[in-house]
Amino acid sequence: MKTIIEPFRIKVVEPIRMTTREERERLLREANFNLFLIRADDVLIDLLTDSGTGAMSSLQWAGIMRGDESYAGARSWYVLQDRIRELTGFEHVLPTHQGRASERILFELVGGRGKVVPNNNHFDTTRANIEHTGAQAVDLVIAEGRQASARHPFKGNMDLAKLEALINDAGPERIPLVMVTITNNSGGGQPVSLENLRGVRRICDHYKLPFFLDACRFAENAWFIKQREAGQDSRSVREIVRDIFDLADGATISAKKDGLVNIGGLLLLRDLGLVRRADELLILTEGFITYGGLAGRDLEAMAQGFDEVVHEDYLRYRVRSTEYVGERLLAAGIQIVEPPGGHAIYIDAQHFAPHIPPERFPGQALVVGLYRHAGIRAVEIGSVMFGQSGTAPAMELVRLAIPRRVYTQSHMDYVIEAIIEVFRRRGELRPLEIAWEPPSLRHFTARFREL
Ligand SMILES: *Cc1c(COP(=O)(O)O)cnc(C)c1O
């Protein structure tokens, strides 16, 4: 069957608002052509991020009512701890309010000046938390992972030769741990193979280094392994997930992605010494070790989300519907990062708008064009986001991140249609200049002018 069927029916609806073109022209001018400064109510289809934007199930909402709000030892905490132990095999589970809180605790303990932390590609909060301690964050994804049109089934893989070279150059004593991000968010949501994770484990064993996962999208990654890796297709996603976690000494997780909740995070550890020190920091800034900055109801919803995310009907629909958007755009001649990743489609904006040079922000011009034409919100990942330091980013991209279980296939058809219409009239996309910018992280608040 060709039709992608959502493996759920809809029990609660939330209206979204159609705006007129005139309204959107005014809203764009008022927001100084920065889509972060537009109210969500004025967006028809919001593809800004897949983080914390998913829809919860009826069982998760039932869990919200069941939540035990006791300060210490709440029943909801034990429900979550049991689920995560069963899913990952990790004995020590620390709850946090989101992924970056787990990163902050971990790197406060193992980071510091002179340290070097390798990863396939550090996510921006991971990098920021590492650098905040004075340590250095190094990206070692394979070469294919850096090229938009290079096809590779596991474009998120770590370059094992480069990892070993880095360990030898820096000296193993300067490397507190090796990290791998699954799926590789900053590299287009591309998966990492089980074989590659085993290779990283072997190198870590050889140099006696801990191996940590940034496991925000562990279930999507496991699904790709089942689909693409030799000998894995007859195994269940749960088995593959367990294999992945069994390789690691620890993991940081944002539950806002594959936890299928709107807020929450986890830090998983094996080393008891590290657990004791992490518990101390957890209590210092997040909360007691049985709630970690969350309400009891959040823990309950998370426990259920981590169960639902490994259902194979869900993962088939999830990955296939993202792939479908990518296929249709490619068929229309629009270059995307290939093959499509798990949670998002990344459009090559320089290819889309060749008449706009990087210093006139082709990605931002496309983001503005999509909103103007169809009320769709996407995000620029190019010279606006990364160009402030004066270094040119490798690619000018626009990311369409797909929230989990929120939009139907007809919403996606509308998005595809709109992008293709903008592409046919791409000569009308207008270059931009920056009218004002803050000293750092300018993409959130910069003001633009259309030229
Ligand atoms: C979202 C994300 C994080 C950070 O999680 P938050 O919940 O946003 O703090 C870390 N790593 C990756 C790969 C992510 O996608």
Give the Å distance between the CA of 125 and the centre of ligand 1: 7
User: Whose C-alpha lies nearest to ligand 1, atom 3?
Assistant: 99
Give how far Cα 348 sits from Cα of 141, 147, 351, 364, 446, Å: 19, 11, 6, 12, 22
Q: Which of 97, 125, 213, 256 to mutate to test the pocket of ligand 1 (most atoms within 8 A of CB)?
A: 125
CA 138 distance to own-chain centroid: 18
Distance CA(60)–CA(79), nearest Å, equals: 13
pLDDT of 200 reads: 98
- Of the candidates 308, 333, 354, which is a domain's last residue? 308
Distance CA(184)–CA(203), nearest Å, equals: 20
Reported in sequence order, the residue ranges of 405-450 that DSSP labels E, i.e. its strands, are: 432-436, 447-450
Q: Report if residue 64 sits inside a domain.
A: yes
- For residues 159 and 62, membership in a common domain is answered with yes
Distance CA(304)–CA(57), nearest Å, equals: 9
DSSP bridge partners of 450: 432
Give the Å distance between the CA of 231 and the centre of ligand 1: 30
What tokens does 179 get? 């990290």
pLDDT of 395 reads: 86
What pTM was estimated for this model as a whole?
0.95
Q: Report if residue 429 sits inside a domain.
A: yes
| Residues in the chain with pLDDT values less than 70 | none
User: Whose C-alpha lies nearest to ligand 1, atom 4?
Assistant: 99
Here the CATH number for the domain that contains residue 237 is 3.40.640.10
- For residues 385 and 259, membership in a common domain is answered with no
Here the CATH number for the domain that contains residue 369 is 3.90.1150.10
User: Contact 403/258 with Cβ under 8 angstroms?
Assistant: no
- For residues 156 and 259, membership in a common domain is answered with yes
Distance CA(384)–CA(443), nearest Å, equals: 6
- For residues 293 and 436, membership in a common domain is answered with no
> Domain range for residue 288?
58-308
pLDDT of 22 reads: 97
Q: Which of 185, 294, 381, 444 to mutate to test the pocket of ligand 1 (most atoms within 8 A of CB)?
A: 185
pLDDT of 439 reads: 87
- Of the candidates 275, 308, 341, which is a domain's last residue? 308
Give the Å distance between the CA of 344 and the centre of ligand 1: 14
Q: Report if residue 376 sits inside a domain.
A: yes
- For residues 349 and 423, membership in a common domain is answered with yes
Distance CA(203)–CA(161), nearest Å, equals: 10
What SS3 class is residue 81?
helix
pLDDT of 188 reads: 86
Number of domains in the chain: 2
pLDDT of 3 reads: 87
- For residues 165 and 235, membership in a common domain is answered with yes
pLDDT of 146 reads: 87
- For residues 354 and 264, membership in a common domain is answered with no
- Of the candidates 278, 308, 338, which is a domain's last residue? 308
Q: Which of 53, 120, 123, 379 to mutate to test the pocket of ligand 1 (most atoms within 8 A of CB)?
A: 123
pLDDT of 27 reads: 98
- For residues 104 and 212, membership in a common domain is answered with yes
pLDDT of 441 reads: 83
Give the Å distance between the CA of 22 and the centre of ligand 1: 36
What tokens does 218 get? 């562990």
Q: Report if residue 11 sits inside a domain.
A: no
